[in-house]
Amino acid sequence: MEIVSENRAFGGTQGVYKHTSSACSCDMTFAVFLPAEAADGPVPVLWFLSGLTCTHENAMTKAGAQAWAAEQGIALVYPDTSPRGDDVPNDEAYDLGQGAGFYIDATEAPWGKHFKMWTYVSEELPALLAEKFPLDMSRQSITGHSMGGHGALTLAMSLPGRFRSVSAFAPICHPTASDWGRKQFEAYLGDKANWDAHDATLLMQAGGFDGPILIDTGTDDQFGDLLGTAHFAEAMAVKRQEGQIRLQKGYDHSYFFISTFMEDHVAFHAEALYA
């Protein structure tokens, strides 16, 4: 693992790191914020999965999570959103290829060799974090934005016992019924029989999540029709799932929206992580 940068921040350290990923068959970059408490022993972990076109850097610099994580003594992990490199396939569209991994393991050409983001985020990166950082991997929670909210919800529901809580900012909730999902799933996964395992609404209908959920979505979100928030809300109600979906008046899809409600989300996860 290579240290790209490490900076003092809020009494702790904001680092950026690079390593060779066997899952994605390329070099991958990720960021970790360690609060001051990490100097004395392992600390709980909050993952942040970013959205379309983003890298590890967007949320690290724009979401404003470090101040609240430092206050709670929680580490933050920011993975990249896809494999990258000259040998990694790409597409001219912003919502397919590099920057648009959708947190799934692709099986179809030309994506299948590199686009293994499910395995990377659920297996390879956690193992590396446990080896290299003072993190308490028995206390993990997860959040994300847009495509990353989709990833956070699907990972949380598919890995029972892994995450104590899950939240999301404007998540893609029903990708099999949206242009943000059907296009990518067809390209990456091919056969529709493989899609349902990566649809948060269908996962909620099937089993739900074994912990609390918090979702914030803006009423002026310019991508609102693509998110499927109402479908997920209905599934939560039928399942009697513990959680909240909050429609925030006047807010859009941007990091201004995310940073406004980040304190709420970190506090929500802290309650679960320290329970």
Catalytic residues: 146, 221, 253
Paired tokens of 196: 């349902």
Give the Cα separation of 140 and 178 in Å (integer): 30
How far from chain centre, in Å, is Cα 38? 22
Q: How far is CA 83 from CA 28, 98, 106, 116, 145, in A?
A: 7, 6, 12, 8, 18
